[in-house]
Structure 1
Amino acid sequence: MYIDPTTPKPPITATGDAVGFLPARNSYGKPITVIGTEAIRNGFDAICLQQALNSRGAPGVTDLVLNPDAHAGYGAPVGSVLVSPTHIYPGPVGVDMKCSMSLLQFDLPVEEIADKKVRRKLIEEICQRLPTGAGRGQSSLKHGRKISVDLGKQAVIEGASASVCAQLGIPPRWADRCEDSFHVAHDGSAGTLGERLEWLLHAGVVKNFDIKVNQLGSYGGGNHFGECEAVEVADNDRARAVADVFGLRHGKTAFLSHCGSRGLGNVLASGQFKALQAMFARWDIPLPGGDKELVYAPLGTPEADAYLDDLALGANFATVNHMLINAMVLEAFESVFPGIKGDLVYFISHNIARQEIVDNRPAWVHRKGATRAFPGGHHALKGTPFEATGHPILLPGNPRDGSAVMVADAGAALSCYSVNHGAGRAMGRKEAIRRLDQGTIDSEMHEHDILSNCRQYPKDEAPAAYKDFNEVLKSVALAGLASEVARLKARFVIKDGDKADD
């Protein structure tokens, strides 16, 4: 649906330094919760707020949260949380199913990579193992791994199972460091996922499966990246104690990755949008806000079951993709620093729908560009390494200002136990390419001694194309949602200039 960007913005009422609300249309139900300082709230554009209102008024929706990184997306804003106990929504997940973050911690002191020649060698070794950009897979690289169709099927059905990890050379203990190491079908089984996959292949919905599974262990384009980091744990007792549980090591090197379900997830999500949009047209069902990206399916219907099964397949692909990326990054570092040790800190998604307990009843929490934030003592963390502290929250910022690792506070209940997924765009891609100066971007990277595999750092991914990351983090802290544990300072970046997957 076209929304005129000149439409006046609906007013947000502040209830605290970084909390406010936006009344639903016609005062229908619970207002939209808005997280952000005054500067952040003033930065929300009219399209973003209209999309939030459309999403809040959709059938079955009980809660809608706008995080400080929120900006206009397709249907629902990127940076939003939508809760429904009765309906499933593809739009508030998006086309890059289970786009996620992962962080690998090394025992390597940062001083060991101070030399530019060493970093260039690491970039070379990583790029010989991890392809970037749309369409490229493992088989195109010098040190890539050939992934058979049978193993690919197993991966998308089982996720990071012990068998899949063993065949791909992924340490099986890393599964314990995942928000979800695997996903099952709507009926709770893996068998149904296998049947669904075979149907998708036979019906031709998923074509060239051999090429798609070869993208396991690869970065996409646009805002996806791999980034070598210097870990700086915050200088306070709580941060140091939590960092110890997380496995973060002050003054050591780490590697942060951002990627998702690649071509397979895109095909699955696009197919679901088309199928549901055709159903809405066939039965003349009203669209929320007149927006075709806000199609939905009531839980328990064949349409909802099909979406949840496809989401599980795409999410399993994304999980194994990240696990393999980290295994191959570790291999690349080992080739330069023999004997180096590396372990996964955490793997967490920000484009997903998960069933959680909200207001004492099960509901589907859709996080579109939003990150789960369970604090210590949350029932869902029982039996995990993070039961007492809360789990790691991985928030990418930009190479200049760094990224952050946070941990949830009790106040995260306000936002349905969710925080932002990063800084959030301040400019659209076309606007950034038009307005930003390439020389200034490259000079800034040079001044901060940040290397890249790109000849020129992409304009639409420059720090200036994104919101003020420190103001975003300030919003999260002032709202009582989470506290910073560590800042990650970029030493080099692996990017691609192709179109973003998400």
Structure 2
Amino acid sequence: MIPTGEATAILPAGNHHSPVKVFGNEKIRATFDDLCLQQAINSRCAPGVTEVVLNPDAHCGYGAPIGCVLASPTHIYPGPVGFDIKCSMSLLQTDVPADAMIDKTIRRELIHAVCRRIPTGMGKGARDVPKSRRVEEKTGVAAMTDGASSDVLAALGVPVAWADRCEDAFHRGHDGSADALRQRLYYLRQGKTFSRFRSTVQQLGSYGGGNHFGECEVVDVVDDNESRQIANVFGLRDQHVAFLSHCGSRGIGHRLASGQFKQLEHKFDQWKIPYPGNDKQLVYAPIGSSEANDYIDDMSLGANFATVNHLLINALVLEAFQEIIPGTTGNLVYFISHNIARQEIVDNRETWVHRKGATRAFPAGHHALKRTPFEHTGHPILLPGNPQAGSSVMVGLPGAKESCYSVNHGAGRALGRRRAIRELDQKQIDASFDSADILSNCRRYPRDEAPAAYKDFEEVLRSVKQAGLAKEVARLRARFVIKDSSDADD
């Protein structure tokens, strides 16, 4: 990497390709291992790719690094979207004052109330907890084909107005229609992909395993006039309780992505097409081909499911708060994805921008924000750090144009899961949560999700600020965390 500024660099990708853009200061650039950099170069040299960006949280992923942006006007790439289609963040702001979270008994009751409504872990769904929303089959179909429509939200008991607080409330098929998605879903339900659709759709309103979580926060708005004004537009309330969620399309998205990877790999082998960088995880399809159309339809089905999943999670969280603290009110601040491909204008050309572990960062005045609540501020960016370092709400700056209007999606892993389990001490992890007065639903906090398994969040944020991509509006301080506790309880 060749430094070009305090928190910027380039990674040469050969004589025939422009370099990979790197965002991160010297300390952060030292966290990028050789495989991460090689994946970035492979991605940049792949057919049709016009730009690749490495964000400060970058680490090796599936074909392309997690924490990267890949732009192509002519090709669609499943790898730089990944298996958890439209894995996303959402933030619910309540009117509960921060002082209400001092009492551990209240926090413990809230944990139980949330967990009675929202299952956690692989394969878990509504049938696994007593107060979840049971999902009718027709509602599940509508959720996948229409996204967060007023009919779907009303059927699930979700405030219809929350759809206006979504990065994308719905996704359409390859031809811009919902009919394409209905036809595609009907086809998939005739085969093995969704042979148990009625059962699988019960995962609406659930967290997955791994790095998915729900987290009760106290909001600390940055103490300057501009930040306070922006926070007001966002709907943030200083020194009040909010709830941050990280989840995606669950088993439905994984099945859709797995099927697409297998089909495209079969086509590559059948046609004897070389894989970019000799890596079959970088399969692709030219826009306009039947293969690209099928992938766009499947990605959209998974993305719609993820959107409704998040909105239902937030409705259930609010219901849990109302059970323990009667009279609680709450509103969605924002829902934003970080595993998706979207059509956007890049250099005056319609381009598929793939964000793999990367978050959209449109600043004030961006044409895509016209007639939204965020037209004059930029939209909220939700960046999870770790429970002990906190998370951040940021807003994009004009300089984000250099990164395809993108920033990192969080802290990024410093240790792989196996290494974290092998090297980190369980007693020290649990003691650190006790010392920080952060409760959890886990008897033992998952070692592979411990704060030490992630990069230094302050350095990550410092890189974003130094590079002029975004500014911080508020910091979120965790009061309790909900994770998949199945492994931790064994």
Q: Distance in 2 between matches of 1:425 and 1:325?
A: 25
The alignment status of 1:478 with 2:466, answered yes or no, reads yes
Within the candidate set 384, 387, 391, 2:375 is matched to 387
Q: How far 1:238 moved relative to its partner? A: 1.2
CA contact (8 A) 2:441 2:485 kept: no
Find the counterpart in structure 2 of residue 214 from structure 1: 202
Partner secondary structure for residue 207 of structure 1: coil
Alignment correspondent of 1:278: 266
**Do residues 297 (structure 1) and 288 (structure 2) align?**
no
Q: Is the 8 A contact 1:222 1:497 kept in 2?
A: no
Give the match for residue 146 of structure 1: 134
Amino acid paired to 1:446: D
Question: TM-score scaled by structure 2?
Answer: 0.99
What residue in structure 1 maps to residue 312 of structure 2?
A: 324
Per-residue deviation, residues 277-329 of structure 1 (Å, max 9, x unmatched): 00000000010000010000000000000000000000000000000000000
User: What runs of 5+ residues in structure 1 fail to find an aligned partner?
Assistant: 1-11
CA deviation profile, 1:447-501 (whole Å, cap 9, x unmatched)? 11000000000000000000000000000000000000000000000001468xx
What is the alpha-carbon distance in structure 2 between the residues aligned to residue 242 and residue 27 of structure 1?
Answer: 44
Q: Hey, what does 2:234 align to over in structure 1?
A: 246
C-alpha contact 1:139 1:145 (8 A) present in aligned 2: no
| Secondary structure, aligned partner of 2:30 | helix
SS, match of residue 346 in structure 1: strand
**When the two structures are aligned, how many residues end up with a matched partner?**
487
1:14 corresponds to which residue? 3
Amino acid at match of 1:143: K
Partner of 1:310 in structure 2? 298
- Select 2:390's aligned residue among 402, 416, 421: 402
Amino acid at match of 2:453: A
Distance of 1:154 and 1:138 partners within structure 2? 18
Tell me the CA shift for residue 126 of structure 1: 0.3
Number of the residue aligned with 1:3: none
2:30 corresponds to which residue? 42
SS in 1 for 2:230: helix
Question: What is the CA–CA distance in structure 1 between the aligned matches of 2:121 and 2:128, rounded to whole Å?
Answer: 12
2:6 corresponds to which letter in structure 1?
D
In structure 1, the partner of 2:93 is 105
Q: Secondary structure, in 3 states, of the residue corresponding to 2:371?
A: coil
What letter corresponds to residue 18 of structure 1 in structure 2?
Answer: A
For 1:102, give the aligned amino acid: S
Within-5 A mapping of 1:48-447: 48-447=36-435
Distance in 2 separating the partners of 1:211 and 1:351: 25
**Paired-residue identity, %:** 64
Measured against aligned partners, the alpha-carbon deviations of 1:34-78 in whole angstroms (never above 9, x if no partner) come to: 000000011100000000000000000000000000000110000
Where 1:214 maps in the other structure, the secondary structure is: helix
Counterpart of 1:334 in 2: which secondary structure?
A: helix
Structure 2 residue matching 1:15: 3-state secondary structure:
strand
Q: Which amino acid aligns with 1:114?
A: I
**Paired residue secondary structure (1:58):** coil
Are the counterparts in 2 of residues 375 and 389 from structure 1 also a CA contact under 8 Å? yes
Residue 347 (structure 1) shift: 0.0
Give the partner amino acid of 2:21.
Answer: T
1:494 partnered with 2:482: yes
User: Using the alignment, how far apart are the partners of 1:119 and 1:209 within structure 2?
Assistant: 36
Question: Do structure 1's residue 467 and structure 2's residue 455 form an aligned pair?
Answer: yes
Measured on the aligned residues, the alpha-carbon RMSD in Å equals 0.7
Listed as ranges, the matches of 1:442-457 within 5 Å are 442-457=430-445
Unaligned runs of 5+ in 2: none
Contact conserved, 1:123 with 1:494, CA < 8 A, in 2? yes
For residues 375 and 17 of structure 1, what CA distance do their matches in structure 2 show? 22
Structure 1 position 18, deviation (Å): 0.2
Alpha-carbon offset, residue 146 of structure 1: 1.2
Residues of 1 paired with 2:227 and 2:18: CA distance?
A: 35
Counterpart code for 1:272: Q
By how many angstroms is 1:27 displaced? 2.1
CA deviation map 1:389-419 (0-9, x unaligned): 0000000000000000000000000100000
Question: What is the deviation of 1:337?
Answer: 1.2
Any idea what SS the aligned residue of 2:203 has? Answer: coil
Q: Partners of 2:41 and 2:363 in 1: how far apart?
A: 29
CA contact (8 A) 2:117 2:320 kept: yes
TM-score normalised over the length of structure 1: 0.96
The aligned residue for residue 8 of structure 1 is none
One-letter code aligned to 1:168: L
Alpha-carbon distance in structure 1 between the residues aligned to 2:69 and 2:484: 29
* Secondary structure in 1 matching 2:294: helix
Aligned-partner Cα distance in 1 for 2:86–2:128: 25
